[in-house]
Amino acid sequence: MLTEQFVASISAQTKANTGVTKDAGIFLHEFQPLAAQRHVFKKSASAQHGLAVSSSHVFAAQDGKAVVHVYSREKGNQEAMIPFPERIHSIALAAKDTVLLMGTESGRVLAWEMCSGRLVSTSTSHLQPVTSLAVDPTSSFFLSGSPDAMIHVWALPAILSFSPDTSRSPVHTLSTHRGPISSITCGHSPSSANIAISTSEDRSAIVWDYRNAQLLRTYLLPELPQALTLDPADRAFYLAYGDGSLQTFDFYDDMQKPTSTDTLRDAASSHRPIQPSPQTRFDAESQKLGAALSLSLSWDGQTLLSGHASGKIAVWDAAKGNYVSTVTNLPGPVTNLEFLEPIGFPTASEPTLKMQTVVKPKQDSAVSGGNALVPPNYTLTMQLNGQLRRPAISATETVTKRAAFEEALVHPSFPQAMLEASLAELATWNAPSTSGAGIAPAADFLSLKDTVGTEDMQGVSNTNEVQELKKQLASQQRVQKVTFKQLSDLREEKEYLLSEERKRSQTARGKAKAKNNLANGSTSDVEMSNNTSGESESSDDDSSSDGESEAAPSE
């Protein structure tokens, strides 16, 4: 969603204001979607043409002082208070908001490079203070106007140039006006067909082809013009007058059409001043707005905003030419009014550099740098913003694609090409592994692991088997040992029993109780058979056989 804001400044506090906005001088006001004051910058009093707003800063030339206040929009506070050798009557931003142009009391224009702090001056070509400045969209030229009724056109790169032999005098001088220049504005075309409009207190407005110093059209005004703004498509301009009324000057209106069709560049009509119809003028008597001091046109060119001496900011419908509402009421005469570019475009391009703080100006001492093109200590202080892409220069290649990595990083999966290459590698990766140990050590390790995996399985089972067999062997050896022991025990027992038997038979021959002894011998035979069966079973269970074999001799 877009947000459209405007900035207004007042020249002095006229109303006793209450509370918070006590010494507020610059007001950041939201226009759409919700008309409300968003921020105030304090302690500033700027005259007309004394306010310039960039995306990061607000600059306000102080009325009647040789000081420019710099406010940071990001931090919302006053960043610097910069003194200059003479009074500043008008300021304007150039070169993508990196250069501040200042029209001075003595009739020269100062250019302050805010990234480097370099301050250069034009020649003193105006006889009186420079009260209005306008910069063309390419920042190649700027126009300066002064109460001496002259407009000078300057080439900015020449002014900023390091080489000492470039002229710092104007490219053209437009001297048709007969009264003090009150304001200048520049068209929106970067091409050579661009126009500039100047208004003067001789009650005329002139449309210029400033690059060729050519007068295109003269308009006669009913009153002293106070403020000027130009349609975004350069179809018309709007003027504000001291009585609070506004007027539309349509380049394509019905009055001019029969003579010049749709263009300003009809030489036939350039000499003939045009008195616009009073019907194109509109005001709102009932609102008591006071003199209009400033004028600004919204982004879409549909809504006019005018700042008045009473402190009111009025909204007008540019097409219908009628009063809509009063958007706010500031505590002083609204001397400057500037619509800002709406913010919130989803695909806004970022600037390549950010100027976080301005570098305070130091007089250009570097010209004495000798033979160097650029003085060696010339540095720009800025934040480099955003990765820029610049493929290496090549006469044969035309690569402008994004880096493969970044493409892959934001891809929903992986780019097709990358997947295919990877799959191909995956397929070939297996091949050396089956052929066995070989070329790439890293590859080998994996392949080994894979094939040896199966070998391992066999190996593991083999060792398991061996271990099991060894276990069995050990247990059987133990059984064997026990059996041998038992055998020897039994043999001893048998011999003992046999000797006993012999003794008994020797003693029994003589006695009559010999039958009883025979019965005892048969029971011991049964015991023997039990023992042998127990041994055959006890191949697994050693302890039981041991117990039995031990039990047998204990008997």
Partner 1 sequence: MAPMATELATLRALTFRISSTATSQLPQHVPAIAASLASCRTLLSSAQASTSKTASEASVAVHKYRTLLSTLLQDRTIQGRWAAIVLIKSTVEIGGWETLQKSLPWVRGLLGILSKPDPYSSKQLCIITLTRIFFLTREYPSLVREITTPSLSPFIQSTLQVAASKGSPALLETILESFNQLLPRHPTTFRTHLKHLHQLLSQTVAPTPSSKLGRDQAAGARPDVTPAVSDAARRLYTQLPCSAPKGATSDEWQKNFKKAVENAHSLGDKVFRAVVEDWKSSAREPATVNGHTLDDEVQDLNADLMSLPPWLGIFAGGERLLGLLNLIKTYILCPTTMPVNLPIGTVVDLLTRLLSLTISSAKGQGFHNAIKFNSQVSKEERENLWLIVPEIHVAAIDLLLALTQRSDASTTAIDAAMLDQIVWVFASEKDSPEIRTACYLAVAQLLLRSGVALPKSSIDPLVDMIRQCCDDILPLDTNGPQLKQSLAPKTNGAPQATTNADAFLKAPKATNSSGNFMGLQNAAHALLPVLFTHIRPQYLSDSLRARLDRTAILVRDKDAMIASVLNPPPSRKFGKPAASILPFLARNQPGEKDVEALLRPRMPVIRTGTHELEKGVDEDEEAEMSEEVEGDDEFVGNELDSLLGLAPTADVRGNVAMAEEVDTPATAPTTLMSNDRPASTIQSANATGKRPQEDLASLSPPKRVKVSEQQEQPHVATLPIQPLAAVPTTIVAQKLDAPAVVPDLSATSQAFVPSTIAAPAAPSSKSENLVEEDSDDDDDDNKISLVLGQDTDSDSE
- For the segment 210-239, give every residue that binds partner 1 (CB under 8 A): 211-212, 214, 220, 222-223, 231, 233, 235-236
Select from 23, 341, 406, 468 the one that contacts partner 1 (CB under 8 A): 406
Shortest CA distance to 29 belongs to which of 52, 47, 6? 6
Q: Which of residues 319-338 bind partner 1 (CB under 8 A)?
A: 319-320
Q: How far is the CB of 203 from partner 1 (least distance, A)?
A: 6
Closest to partner 1 by CB, 58 or 160 = 160
Helix (H, G, I), strand (E, B) or coil at 102: strand
* Amino acid, single-letter form, for residue 404: A
User: What residues pair up with 403 in beta bridges, in sequence order?
Assistant: none
Closest to partner 1 by CB, 243 or 542 = 243
**Binding mask 38-77 vs partner 1 (x if CB under 8 A, - otherwise)?**
----------------------------------------
Stretch that binds partner 1, among 20-28, 334-342, 414-422, 496-504 (CB under 8 A): 414-422
Q: Which of residues 379-398 bind partner 1 (CB under 8 A)?
A: 379-390, 392-398
Maximum distance among all alpha carbons in the chain?
Answer: 180
Shortest CA distance to 266 belongs to which of 218, 197, 233? 218
Q: Which of residues 250-279 bind partner 1 (CB under 8 A)?
A: 250, 252-255, 257-259, 261-263, 265-269, 272-273, 275, 277-279
CA 121-125-126 angle, 5° bins = 110
Shortest CA distance to 195 belongs to which of 240, 156, 158, 141? 141
**Binding mask 358-377 vs partner 1 (x if CB under 8 A, - otherwise)?**
-----------xxxxxxxxx
Q: How far is the CB of 35 from partner 1 (least distance, A)?
A: 22
Closest to partner 1 by CB, 18 or 371 = 371
Shortest CA distance to 6 belongs to which of 229, 242, 277, 257? 229
Q: How far is the CB of 489 from partner 1 (least distance, A)?
A: 58
Q: How far is the CB of 474 from partner 1 (least distance, A)?
A: 36
Closest to partner 1 by CB, 88 or 236 = 236
Closest to partner 1 by CB, 63 or 234 = 234
Select from 44, 104, 139, 198 the one that contacts partner 1 (CB under 8 A): 139
Q: What whole-number distance in Å separates Cα of residue 354 and Cα of residue 111?
A: 19
Select from 54, 80, 188, 429 the one that contacts partner 1 (CB under 8 A): 429
Q: How far is the CB of 84 from partner 1 (least distance, A)?
A: 21
Q: Where are the beta strands (DSSP E) in 210-342?
A: 214-220, 225-230, 236-241, 246-250, 281-282, 292-297, 303-308, 312-317, 322-329, 334-339
Using CB under 8 A as the binding rule, whether residue 418 contacts partner 1 is answered as yes
Residue 32 near residue 3, CB atoms below 8 Å: yes
Q: What whole-number distance in Å separates Cα of residue 130 and Cα of residue 151?
A: 9
Would you state the structure tokens that stand for residue 187, as one six-digit string?
Answer: 């068209």
* Amino acid, single-letter form, for residue 75: K
Q: How far is the CB of 295 from partner 1 (least distance, A)?
A: 15
- The footprint of partner 1 on this chain (CB under 8 A) covers a number of residues equal to 132
Q: Which of residues 159-218 bind partner 1 (CB under 8 A)?
A: 160-163, 166, 178-179, 191-193, 201-204, 209, 211-212, 214
Inter-CA distances, 59 with 16, 69, 77, 99, 477, Å? 25, 6, 12, 12, 105
Select from 412, 510, 512, 522 the one that contacts partner 1 (CB under 8 A): 412
Using CB under 8 A as the binding rule, whether residue 357 contacts partner 1 is answered as yes
Inter-CA distances, 102 with 41, 112, 131, 336, 553, Å? 21, 8, 9, 16, 127
Select from 8, 52, 58, 95 the one that contacts partner 1 (CB under 8 A): 95
Shortest CA distance to 44 belongs to which of 5, 81, 94, 84? 81
**Binding mask 440-469 vs partner 1 (x if CB under 8 A, - otherwise)?**
--xx-xx--xx--x----------------
Stretch that binds partner 1, among 1-9, 80-88, 423-431, 460-468 (CB under 8 A): 423-431
Burial of 89 (0-12, 13-18, 19+ CB in 10 A): buried
Q: What whole-number distance in Å separates Cα of residue 1 and Cα of residue 348?
A: 12
Q: How far is the CB of 409 from partner 1 (least distance, A)?
A: 6
Stretch that binds partner 1, among 331-339, 406-414, 484-492, 493-501 (CB under 8 A): 406-414
